[in-house]
Amino acid sequence: MIDIPSDKSISHRSIMFGAIAHGKTTIKNFLRGDDCLSTLKAFQDLGVKIEDDGETITVHGTGFSGLKPAKQAIDVGNSGTTIRLIMGILAGTSFTTELFGDHSIAKRPMNRVMLPINQMGAECTGHDGTEFPPLTVKGTENLKPIHYQMPVASAQVKSAILFAALQAHGKSVVVEKEKTRDHTEDMIRQFGGEITVSGKEISICGPQKLVGQEVIVPGDISSAAFFLTAGLIIPDSKITLNNVGLNPTRTGIIDVIQQMGGKLTIQETGSKANKAGTLSVETSDLKGIEISGEIIPRLIDELPIIALLATQAEGTTIIRDAEELKVKETNRIDAVATELTKMGANIEPTDDGLIIHGKTPLHAAQVTSYGDHRIGMMLQIAALLVKDGTVDLEKAEAISVSYPRFFDDLNKLYQ
């Protein structure tokens, strides 16, 4: 039995909402991984007082208007969530901010956020006229509302627009391509804001004033997915995970496990605002399935570990409509196919997903995470299936981005 790390998405947003709200926000069970600490540091750079006593983080909110120009360019590290969401917040400021990150961030497309934000009146530009970081965001206090049809299913893009819409004068409407994780919408309500959601259409009127709250962050189902998979595919296993977040827009992995025939039980806990539960899995006979369509945004971050799960299922698993995987920390379609093939998996990359033929034994190999935390964790779980030899994982340090104690928890379960 282990307690998985706190939810990364909610941890990021708790700092952001705390900063732009008026008054004090307290955050318990915050994920102190590299990505979320990048968000914390970014808002300190913008003049927000944030205290961390090791148990509770206290954010002394300034409201949107109280943010101050950073003294130098803001470093977002490896965090795509930080750079994309903060663009929406900076859009309504009266100053110009420069944003940059590591080599991975420098390759991630930002037009999907820049275009709607610029339509609202801000000026977002990329490096040398491209859509890639480093970025410059010149805000305006006269943001215009927008009616925006999302060309991609992306919670990050949606959230950036909603942050800008909270500052715009008038009613904004965002229409999603597919329903994506709705933590931003939930937290707008939690912090006293007003937002209307009808199917895939989201309406919000601005400007709005938010008020500081207490946030208790549940466990991250994306982190839980690695140990859920281990429990299903390692012989003679049974694993119980505590305090796993069960927001319905994030639980696609549970649907997939159940469709594949995995033995999974759920005992719900948590609050109405932050649904959570205790999940238990055990070694199971799995079957291949097709994963596509509207479920994809509900498990986009879990697809690398689902691919490993599929290598141990009888028959063929097909993943479609997942082209978003190409613009994560690395091209996860190619990375998953290349690294698992090295270990003996029968897996083919496609333009928008993967075709995995199971069930295949895996063998020792030298593999790499490409600096992507989820690829690294997936390969480390795959290594547990290898009977002879060792799996040498390069760039394992990337795992600390979302799961600083991953190897400690893995050793605890393995023993």
Q: Please return the burial class of 223, using the count of CB atoms within 10 Å of its CB with bins 0-12, 13-18 and 19+.
A: buried
Q: Give dist(CA 175, CA 150) in Å, integer.
A: 6
Tokens of 253: 């992995």
State yes or no: is 45 an active-site residue. no
- For residues 271-281, b (16+ Cβ closer than 10 Å) or e, as one string? eeebbbbbbbb
Tokens of 101: 């990150």
325/352 Cα distance (integer angstroms): 8
Is residue 347 a contact partner of residue 364, using CB atoms and an 8 Å limit? Answer: no
Task: Please give the span between the terminal C-alpha atoms of the chain, in angstroms, as a whole number.
Answer: 12
Token code pair at residue 241: 């995970």
Residue 329 contacts residue 105 (beta carbons within 8 Å): no
- The dihedral sign for the CA sequence 263, 269, 274, 278: negative
179: left (phi over 0), alpha (psi -120 to 50) or beta: beta
CA 274 to chain centre: 16
- HSE, side-chain direction, 13 A CA sphere, residue 123: 8
Nearest C-alpha neighbor of 327 from the set 159, 132, 161, 160: 132
Q: What is the largest CA-CA distance in the chain?
A: 64
3-state secondary structure of 29: coil
Q: Pick the catalytic residue: 45, 75, 220, 301?
A: 301
Torsion of the alpha carbons at 170, 176, 181 and 187, rounded to the nearest 10:
10
**CA–CA–CA angle 224, 234, 298 (5° rounding):** 30
Residues that are catalytic:
301
